[in-house]
């Protein structure tokens, strides 16, 4: 069974990853929250009413997504959060920078990258390892040239 602490870890982690801009939001008092939301957000109760409306909105959205997940999805989310928590601040900034770069790409390019990633994930482990080793052996100049060639091939 999933522990409440794990649930809150996921919700907190999701907020770190959630880069949605909130244009307008109205603060919600703790007393007006539904019972399910109160259970999930219980660790936030003492500070809830003093949180900015945008943060409350993000926490509530994360709680709703959590409630909609099945057990497998929750376990995957927890594993992702644990990996995220293990990253250093520098690594987290790097991940967020790459994430934002991806989000700023045209939808067509995002779709292409996702398709290629799915193909990569289906490769046998030994093929993945071969690709990683080949990439590591390239000089920075060779990597840039390869990336340019791939850009032109699109």
Contact by Cβ (8 Å): 85, 14: no
The reported pLDDT for the residue numbered 89 is 93
The reported pLDDT for the residue numbered 23 is 35
141 or 3, which is more confident? 141
Distances (CA, A) of 50 to 34, 35, 81: 18, 20, 25
> For residue 146, what pLDDT band results from cuts at 50, 70 and 90?
confident
Distance from C-alpha of 152 to C-alpha of 119, rounded to nearest angstrom: 20
Contact by Cβ (8 Å): 78, 71: no
Contact by Cβ (8 Å): 24, 4: no
First to last CA, the chain: 47
Q: Say what the pTM is.
A: 0.54
What is the Cβ-side half-sphere exposure of residue 40, based on CA atoms within 13 angstroms? 20
Three-class secondary structure of residue 96 per DSSP: helix
56-94: per-residue pLDDT in tens?
Answer: 999 999 889 989 999 999 999 999 989 988 999 999 999
Contact by Cβ (8 Å): 79, 12: no
The reported pLDDT for the residue numbered 22 is 41
126 or 20, which is more confident? 126
2-61: per-residue pLDDT in tens?
Answer: 455 555 555 555 555 553 434 344 668 898 888 988 888 898 899 998 999 888 999 999
Distance from C-alpha of 13 to C-alpha of 58, rounded to nearest angstrom: 11
User: If you average pLDDT over residues 110-117, what whole number do you get?
Assistant: 90
């Amino acid at each position: 069974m999933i522990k409440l602490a794990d649930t809150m870890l996921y919700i907190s982690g999701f907020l770190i990853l959630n880069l949605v801009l909130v244009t307008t939001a109205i603060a919600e008092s703790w007393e007006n929250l539904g019972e399910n939301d109160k259970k999930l957000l219980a660790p936030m109760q003492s500070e809830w009413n003093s949180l900015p409306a945008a943060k409350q909105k993000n926490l509530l959205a994360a709680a709703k997504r959590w409630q909609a997940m099945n057990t497998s999805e929750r376990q995957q989310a927890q594993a992702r959060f644990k990996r995220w928590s293990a990253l250093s601040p520098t690594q987290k900034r790097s991940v967020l920078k790459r994430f934002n770069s991806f989000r700023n790409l045209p939808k067509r390019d995002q779709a292409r990258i996702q398709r290629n990633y799915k193909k990569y994930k289906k490769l046998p482990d030994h093929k993945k390892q071969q690709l990683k080793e080949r990439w590591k052996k390239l000089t920075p100049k060779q990597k840039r040239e390869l990336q340019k060639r791939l850009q032109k091939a699109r």
